[in-house]
């Protein structure tokens, strides 16, 4: 009398499973790729970029990324972060003060520009100009584009998004064909979105000028906002776009005797 092997069926199932395992893995991988395409490649890239290599400083690391436009002394232990929106009128006024600060303190201070479009719609003009600025930054022309964009706010309001290409064409030395491709790329769009996400999830502790107040993660910032950090310590963020406070703090930190454009204008008027 022969007896049926009680493990025969189980072994057959296991063998079939191992035989088809590579195919199953491939199938699951394809499903993952399809999910990325359906859910949005940009969202996926944002998640990847949020976990990408950052600055070694534990406090600065949430803000400084390889895509961040930076000017001044790249090795400085003093960093000024400027969070702004290209369609914010106060940001346009403050941008001139920031340019003056870079000229006067650039040898001692690092200045980093963070995109913070005041819109939840990535197809909004706020985001479209930010994408264009980041595409210009890819070729080393962030500041040139930003200067034109802030000066052209009123022009943008009358002519709309088509004026953005005119701005790019006016920048001597920039490859506008590459710029046009880049501004619609996932890499550029992700860089802008990650910049805004960095600021939204940032916690800022009380600083000397904040009156004991802190900025909670997820509570959002106003524009423009300036965050000054030295040796990993938040020196100031509450003063916002107060150029007098900015120049005063940087003078104290660097020992460079300087005045803001408003103070120089006031001194001239008093003479």
- Cα separation, 33 vs 39, in Å, equals 10
Tell me which fold the domain 45-264 belongs to.
Glutaredoxin (3.40.30)
pLDDT at residue 262, rounded to an integer: 62
Start-to-end C-alpha separation, the chain:
120
Separation between Cα atoms, residue 85 and residue 119, nearest integer Å: 9
* Residue extents of the structural domains in the chain: 45-264
Q: How many CB atoms lie within 10 A of CB 228?
A: 22
The confidence score (pLDDT) of residue 32 equals 57
pLDDT in tens, 78-97: 999 999 999 999 999 999 99
Length of the chain: 271
Residues 6+ apart with CB under 8 A from 238: 207, 209, 210, 211, 213
Residues with pLDDT less than 50, the chain: 1-8, 10, 17-18, 36-39, 44-45, 47-48, 51-60, 267-270
Per-residue pLDDT tens for 127-174? 999 999 999 999 999 999 999 999 999 999 999 999 999 999 999 999
- Other CB atoms within 10 Å distance of the CB of residue 215: 21
Q: Are 195 and 68 in contact (CB under 8 A)?
A: yes
């Amino acid at each position: 009398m022969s007896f049926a092997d009680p493990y025969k069926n189980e072994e057959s199932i296991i063998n079939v499973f191992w035989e088809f395992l590579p195919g199953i893995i491939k199938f699951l991988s394809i499903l993952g790729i399809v999910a990325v395409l359906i859910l949005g490649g940009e969202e996926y890239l944002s998640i990847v970029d949020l976990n990408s290599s950052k600055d070694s400083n534990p406090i600065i690391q949430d803000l400084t990324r390889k895509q961040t436009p930076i000017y001044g002394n790249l090795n400085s232990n003093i960093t000024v972060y400027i969070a702004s929106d290209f369609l914010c009128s106060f940001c346009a006024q403050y941008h001139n003060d920031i340019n003056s600060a870079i000229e006067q303190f650039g040898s001692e201070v690092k200045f980093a520009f963070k995109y913070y479009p005041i819109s939840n719609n990535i197809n909004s003009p706020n985001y479209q100009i930010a994408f264009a600025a980041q595409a210009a930054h890819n070729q080393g022309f962030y500041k040139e584009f930003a200067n034109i964009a802030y000066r052209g706010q009123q022009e943008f309001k009358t002519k709309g998004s088509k004026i953005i290409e005119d701005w790019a064409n006016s920048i001597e030395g920039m490859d506008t064909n590459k710029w046009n491709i880049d501004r619609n790329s996932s890499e550029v769009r992700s860089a802008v979105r990650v910049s805004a996400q960095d600021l939204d999830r940032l916690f800022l502790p009380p600083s000397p000028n904040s009156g004991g107040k802190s900025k909670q993660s997820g509570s959002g910032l106003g524009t423009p906002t300036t965050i000054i950090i030295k040796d990993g310590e938040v020196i100031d963020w509450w003063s916002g776009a107060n150029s007098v406070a900015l120049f005063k703090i940087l003078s104290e930190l660097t020992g460079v005797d300087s005045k803001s454009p408003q103070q120089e204008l006031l001194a001239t008027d008093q003479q």
